[in-house]
Amino acid sequence: MSDIIHLLPDAIANQIAAGEVVQRPASVVKELMENSLDAGASSIHLVIKEAGRSLIQVIDDGSGMSETDARMSLERHATSKIRTAEDLFKIRTMGFRGEALASIAAVSQFEMKTRLATQEVGTLLVVEGSDIKRQEPVTTEKGTTISVRNLFYNIPARRNFLKSNPVEMRHIVEEFQRLALAHPEKSLALIHGDEIIYELEPDKMAPRIVALFGKSYQQQLAPCKEETDLLAVSGFVGKPESAKKTRGEQFFFVNSRFIRNNYLHHAVMGAYEGLLPDGAFPFYVLFLSIDPKHLDINVHPTKTEIKFDDERAVYAVVRAAVRQALGAHNLTPALDYSADVNLMSKMSQSQALSREQYLDEQIGSGLQQSNLRNWEKLFENERPAESKLFSQHDFSQSGQQALMTVLPAGDPAVAFQLHQRYLVRPVKNGIMVIRQEAAHERILYEDFLKKMKNHGGSTLQSLFPQTVNFSTADFTLVMEMEREIKALGFQFEVFGKNSLLVTGLPIEAAGKNEKELFEGLLEQFKHNQSALTVPLEDNLARSLAKRAAIKVGHVLTREEMELIIQRLFSCHNPNYSPDGDTTFFIFETSKIESHFR
């Protein structure tokens, strides 16, 4: 039997490595800009064409490379930052694995110009799919310019997996924003085609945040600072009233490296407890400075996930730092201080007691009287909503037949609401229980799909149009989907940079807040995008149905209850919500009888 194990050619090995390092154009942006930062660049220009498909170019004024180093940088496992395995636990620079340039050059038409400050002539390298085509001296500025053209040109299957240009551009903008936040002392620019998206001068952190996200952030930032023996926390958190319904503007940096960490995000959200409405997300940019020996940053190819050797301690420090920032700027929950006008002065005199302990004591005296008057309101029934949930529809014949198999013809029985969560109605063979939220989602989902198929839905004009501000990435995404979103029944127009004026809502969303609904639609869409593989129109229909559907606690009139039941059984699939949740079940009479025998 002949031998079957052999070594892969370097070109193929590099393409395989590229699968981990280079997932999309934004991955290339991240690796190249991090290399520029590690090279000590004070100015970095990022030039993009066709969302990175045709060109990604990074121009820096860093230290540059010698001819030998330039050639070596394209070899796998080539690095200037690691000599021994122990060095992995002392890393403070960005890129260090030594596969980035080799991987990028393996899946693109790659060109590098680089020159040391001490030399008059630089080096030009031209590479295609790991094959070095040219290496020659060149006249160039000090530093390095890398141009990546036609990404994945030699791997068509990978290129076909890229999303639309606006989606890929949004990922590029997000990477740029993270690096710009981590290094406010650097001069950075982002150019897409002929448009200058960002041109950032060296500055402090607060002005850098405003330059990236807009002037509206000037009044909403609270500085955050805490130092312990283990780590130091610094940065800014947003005021609770400026929280958005969409994720994306939450940033953690550990030793200037952007990371994702749900555990630390939970710590921040815990500090905001009682300050935010449901489904709202605060803005924060937090920097953790910690000795690298307490970290393992080599747990993920993109190095955005890390491990701490004492996660609980880090969690506690982060939460305390954010709570202190909110408290220091009077952003803590508004309490009824009218019950005791001397409350704050008494608190300052009671240093032996924590703030929570002191308030607990106060509940037993002055505050108790003011709060008791509010207890009855918790049990008052809301007046039934008068809002119209549906516009008039003609039910299909098949839908009516499906309805009649369940509901008794001419039955005078009416539905009623149970705990403002379920609809209950007698049927031929028992009692039907409908989960109102899931049923309404199914109805709206199918309605919205039809609207987009027919290229237009009914719109309810807003009496008071609202302005919605977005990050650059989110604004780009919205404009990419403009036609589909307007087909749902939204009306809006561009109102300044990265802002929209919403002038109309889908008629099914009557009574909803324009800003909250639009932000919620975008947040739900991005969540679905990461969790599902469905067409754009289907995702939008699901997202809007989820955000516009009636929720638990919504009081319905009898007419609205009956209309939900009729509309549900006119759907193509009345049994399940778009998420796959059961919409109804029937508690059969025989089951009821069995409980009495």
Q: Is residue 389 part of a domain?
A: no
Residue closest to 110 by CA, chosen among 168, 178, 13, 31 = 31
In the 8-state DSSP scheme, what is residue 84? S
Q: Which residues of 481-517 are buried (b: 16+ CB within 10 A; e: fewer)?
A: beebbbbbbbbbeeeeebbbbbbbbbebbeebebbbb
pTM: 0.66
Q: Is residue 296 part of a domain?
A: yes
Structural domain for 36, as ranges: 10-202
Are 320 and 436 in the same domain? Answer: no
Task: Single out the residue in 202, 217, 244 at which a domain terminates.
Answer: 202
Look at phi and psi of residue 284 and say left if phi exceeds 0, alpha if psi is from -120 to 50, else beta.
beta
| 406-443 pLDDT per residue, tens | 554 445 457 888 888 888 888 888 888 999 899 998 99
Q: What is the CATH number of the domain that holds 252?
A: 3.30.230.10
- With pLDDT > 70 as the criterion, what percentage of the chain qualifies? 76
Are 538 and 417 in the same domain? Answer: yes
Are 545 and 423 in the same domain? Answer: yes
Quote the tokens at residue 487: 């087909």
Are 157 and 211 in the same domain? Answer: no
| Distances in whole angstroms, Cα of residue 43 to Cα of each of 61, 121, 196, 201, 590 | 6, 21, 16, 9, 77
Q: Is residue 48 part of a domain?
A: yes
Are 417 and 433 in the same domain? Answer: yes
Are 225 and 135 in the same domain? Answer: no
> How confident is the model at residue 348, as a pLDDT?
36
Are 314 and 407 in the same domain? Answer: no
How far apart are the C-alpha atoms of 81 and 101, rounded to whole Å? 15
> How confident is the model at residue 341, as a pLDDT?
32
Question: Which run of H or E residues covers position 467?
Answer: strand 459-469
Are 67 and 108 in the same domain? Answer: yes
Are 431 and 550 in the same domain? Answer: yes
Apex 433 CA angle, 585 and 383, nearest 5 = 155
In the 8-state DSSP scheme, what is residue 503? E
Task: Single out the residue in 328, 348, 372 at which a domain terminates.
Answer: 328
Are 492 and 542 in the same domain? Answer: yes
Are 239 and 176 in the same domain? Answer: no
> How confident is the model at residue 305, as a pLDDT?
72
Apex 143 CA angle, 138 and 145, nearest 5 = 70
Q: Are 442 and 576 in contact (CB under 8 A)?
A: yes
Q: What is the CATH number of the domain that holds 196?
A: 3.30.565.10
Q: Is residue 388 part of a domain?
A: no
Quote the tokens at residue 100: 């980035």
Q: Is residue 386 part of a domain?
A: no
> How confident is the model at residue 79, as a pLDDT?
52
Q: Is residue 495 part of a domain?
A: yes
| 63-112 pLDDT per residue, tens | 999 999 999 888 865 454 444 445 444 544 544 334 688 889 999 999 99
- Determine the angle formed by the axes of helices 165-182 and 472-480, rounding to 10 degrees: 180
**How many CB atoms are closer than 10 A to CB 547?**
24
Q: Is residue 368 part of a domain?
A: no
Strand intervals (E) in 314-455: 416-418, 422-427, 430-435
How far apart are the C-alpha atoms of 168 and 424, rounded to whole Å? 47
- What is the domain count for the chain? 3
- Name the one residue in this structure whose structure tokens are 């209850």: 561
- Point out the residues of the chain with pLDDT beneath 50: 78, 80-85, 87-89, 91-92, 94-98, 299-301, 333-387, 391-402, 404, 408-410, 412
Residue closest to 263 by CA, chosen among 252, 272, 274 = 252
Q: Are 272 and 278 in contact (CB under 8 A)?
A: no
| Distances in whole angstroms, Cα of residue 415 to Cα of each of 73, 426, 436, 559 | 72, 7, 12, 9
Quote the tokens at residue 32: 């190249």
Task: Single out the residue in 301, 328, 355 at which a domain terminates.
Answer: 328
> How confident is the model at residue 504, as a pLDDT?
87
How far apart are the C-alpha atoms of 190 and 197, rounded to whole Å? 6
Are 215 and 189 in the same domain? Answer: no
What contacts 73, CB < 8 A, 6 or more positions away? 65, 101, 112
> How confident is the model at residue 383, as a pLDDT?
39
- HSE value, Cβ hemisphere, 13 Å, CA-based, for 269: 13
Q: Are 441 and 549 in contact (CB under 8 A)?
A: yes
Q: Is residue 314 part of a domain?
A: yes
| 246 φ, ψ (degrees, to nearest 5) | -115, 145
| 427 φ, ψ (degrees, to nearest 5) | -130, 180
Q: Is 462 in a helix, a strand, or coil?
A: strand
